[in-house]
């Protein structure tokens, strides 16, 4: 394992006005690893994920992508300077995000959604972007819907399209923000199936989820967030079988019922 | 049928002068196109100011909207043509005069930019935030997000209301003869002075406007509905 983690979250604090959401959260995600973040609603899971790609700017702390800080850089005189939006954008494109609400662009076809960022942001030639896009759609088994508009797809299909869209950027890591929380149970499985395959292929992933069975099965590490901090973390077999925190045990008990 | 009504409905005189009248109608169309272009661009600018995070920019946007949306077309037209050149003249210490066509375009363009700004703003605010988050997440610049993600959705959402405003703007072009822009109404009054038979001429003009707007609006509506439905469930 390389010593520099793919993603390092270091002492991240985030507050919205008087409301504190994250209080010094730190963890590493190594290449090819899957880290799941679990916790009750309102425990700061989604905010944490949004901080990782700077959709929310942390109030303190830093995110490192392969050792490079996302929010600041050293200038020529060795002082730390906040990065401009353009610089943050350059680093952000290395992280693929999948949202709870899919957030496909409704005015573009499925393939249009998938090739948009590779063409406009990565500046790939159209033909190359389309080849990559089609390969990603095949991977999520959605190639037959390439020319449909998102409004005509089921929730599960939309979410798989959103995964293909993120994959097409060839990101260094994928961030999943409760990707199945808006789906009916029968549609959840098709999305989890795709994510299982990604994990098996060695994709680096951070997954915020309520799917405990999934977290247990695919994660290398699970983080339990409670009250703005990491209450407990560890390998899934330890966390799910031998939790030391009383709060985590109570939390997991709700899912066993 | 009374004689005067018969005379009013007899459009042969209108048809006789069709060449001159058509020229006037072309001027209406040109005023409409130029004013619509100005209204759309100034309206989009004002809308973007209004949804900005910073209060001073929001205030400028709001002032623009309130100033122009509440100004009557007629008064704006007179003001832009006669008063604005005087003001500019004093500022640059030189005599300034606007061509009537230019005044008409500026006046109508500004008034309707106030309306379009509000339509644009409603369209922008209706876009789900997550849609823009997704774009930001892929590292798209704000300019790219505006052109590729926001505007195409805004335009589709605002089309029905924008269409009503285009119709109002086209109707508003009938007042430009007031400052001697040679439009259809101007041509009608010229012919009236010669023929002294205003009723058939005005009836013909009314029918012409009515038919043009009906055909244009129905066509645009039919086309845009199919296009819109693709993205909106």
> Is residue B30 scored above 90 in pLDDT?
yes
Average pLDDT score, chain B = 91
pLDDT tens, residue by residue, B157-167 = 888 889 999 99
Q: What pLDDT score was predicted for residue A257?
A: 66
Structurally, at CATH architecture level, domain B2-232 sits in: Orthogonal Bundle (1.10)
**What is the pLDDT at residue B20?**
87
Q: Considering CB atoms only, which of A89, A103, A162 is closest to B141?
A: A89
User: For the range B217-224, what are the long-range contacts, defined as Cβ-Cβ under 8 Å and sequence gap of 24 or more?
Assistant: B217/B163, B217/B167, B220/B163, B220/B166, B221/B160, B221/B163, B224/B156, B224/B159, B224/B160, B224/B163
CA atoms within 13 A on the CB side of B27: 22
Mean pLDDT for the stretch of residues B25-54? 95
Mean pLDDT to the nearest integer, B65-83: 93
Say if residues A209 and A176 touch (Cβ distance below 8 Å).
Answer: yes
Residue B192 CB: number of other CB atoms within 10 A? 16
Which pLDDT score, from 0 to 100, does residue B60 have? 95
Q: How far is CA A114 from CA A96, A141, A167, B20, in A?
A: 12, 14, 9, 55
**Residue B94 DSSP label:** S
CA dihedral in degrees (A11, A40, A179, A224; nearest 10)? 40
Report the residue of chain B nearest A152, measured CA to CA: B233
β-sheet bridge partners, residue A27: A9
- Residue B230 above 80 pLDDT? no
Report whether A8 contacts A64 (CB < 8 A): yes
Look at residue B8 and tell me whether its pLDDT is greater than 80.
no
Of A127, A97, A87, A122, which Cα lies nearest the Cα of A7? A97
Domain ranges of chain B: 2-232
- Say yes or no to pLDDT of B225 above 70: yes
Q: Which residues of A touch B134 (CB under 8 A)?
A: 97, 99, 103-105, 162
CA–CA separation, A17 and A14 (whole Å): 10
Please answer whether residues A93 and A102 qualify as being in contact, where contact means their C-beta atoms are separated by less than 8 angstroms: no
Closest Cα of chain A to B133: distance in Å? 7
- What's the burial of A123, exposed, middle or buried (CB within 10 Å: 0-12/13-18/19+)? exposed
pTM: 0.85
What is the number of other CB atoms lying within 10 angstroms of the CB of residue B159? 20
Whether B194 has a pLDDT exceeding 60, the answer reads yes
Nearest CB partner across the interface for A121, out of B134, B138, B232: B138
Q: Give the residue on B whose Cα is nearest the Cα of A86.
A: B141
Q: Hey, are the CB atoms on A120 and B233 less than 8 Å from each other?
A: no
Please list the rounded mean pLDDT of every run of 10 residues in chain A (257 residues): 85 93 94 94 91 93 93 84 90 94 94 97 96 95 94 93 95 94 88 92 94 92 94 93 91 83
* Residue A2 pLDDT: 56
Residues of A within 8 A of B232 (CB-CB) are 106, 151
Would the CB atoms of B130 and A101 count as touching at under 8 Å? yes
pLDDT value, residue B233 = 52
The pLDDT of B27-52, averaged and rounded, is 95
Interior CA angle at B148 toward B144 and B151, to 5°? 110
Residue A94 is predicted with a pLDDT of 94
């Amino acid at each position: 394992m390389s010593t520099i983690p793919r993603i390092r979250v270091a002492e991240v604090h985030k507050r919205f006005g008087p409301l504190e959401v994250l209080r010094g959260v730190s963890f590493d995600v190594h290449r090819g690893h899957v880290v799941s973040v679990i916790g009750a609603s309102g425990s700061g899971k989604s905010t944490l994920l949004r901080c990782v790609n700077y959709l929310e700017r942390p109030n303190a702390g830093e995110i490192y992508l392969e050792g490079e800080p996302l929010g600041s850089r050293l200038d020529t005189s060795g002082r730390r300077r906040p990065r401009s939006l353009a610089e943050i954008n350059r680093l952000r494109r290395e992280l693929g995000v999948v949202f709870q609400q899919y957030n496909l662009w409704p005015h573009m076809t499925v393939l249009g959604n998938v090739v948009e960022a590779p063409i406009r942001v990565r500046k790939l030639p159209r033909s190359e972007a389309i080849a990559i896009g089609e390969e990603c759609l095949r991977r999520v088994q959605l190639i037959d819907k390439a020319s449909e508009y998102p409004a005509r797809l089921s929730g599960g299909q939309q979410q798989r399209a959103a995964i293909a869209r993120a994959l097409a950027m060839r990101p260094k890591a994928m961030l999943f923000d409760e990707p199945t929380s808006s789906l009916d149970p029968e549609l959840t499985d098709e999305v989890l199936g795709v994510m299982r395959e990604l994990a098996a292929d060695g994709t680096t992933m951070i997954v915020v989820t309520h799917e405990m069975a999934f977290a247990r099965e695919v994660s290398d590490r699970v983080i339990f967030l409670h009250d703005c901090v990491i209450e407990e973390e560890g390998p899934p077999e330890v966390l799910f079988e031998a939790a030391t925190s009383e709060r985590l045990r109570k939390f997991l008990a709700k899912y066993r019922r | 049928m009374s004689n005067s009504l018969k005379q009013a409905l007899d459009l042969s005189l209108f048809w006789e002068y069709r060449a001159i009248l058509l020229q006037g109608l072309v001027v209406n169309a040109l005023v409409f196109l130029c004013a619509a272009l100005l209204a759309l661009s100034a309206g989009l600018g004002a809308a973007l100011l209004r949804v900005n995070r910073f209060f001073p920019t929001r205030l400028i946007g709001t002032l623009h909207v309130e100033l122009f949306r509440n100004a009557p077309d007629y008064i704006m037209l007179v003001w832009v043509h006669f008063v604005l050149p005087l003001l500019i003249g004093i500022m640059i210490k030189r005599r300034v005069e606007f061509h009537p066509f230019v005044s008409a375009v500026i006046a109508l363009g500004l008034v309707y930019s106030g309306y379009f700004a509000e339509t644009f703003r409603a369209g922008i605010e209706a876009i789900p935030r997550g849609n823009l988050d997704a774009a930001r997440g892929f590292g798209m610049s704000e300019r790219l997000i505006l052109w590729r993600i926001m505007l195409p959705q805004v335009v589709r959402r605002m089309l029905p209301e924008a269409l009503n405003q285009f119709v109002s703007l086209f109707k508003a072009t009938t007042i430009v003869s007031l400052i001697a822009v040679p439009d259809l109404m101007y041509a009608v009054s010229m012919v009236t002075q010669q023929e002294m038979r205003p009723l058939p001429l005005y009836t013909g003009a009314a029918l012409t406007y009515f038919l043009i707007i009906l055909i244009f609006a129905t066509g645009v509506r039919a086309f845009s509905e199919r296009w819109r439905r693709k993205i909106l469930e």
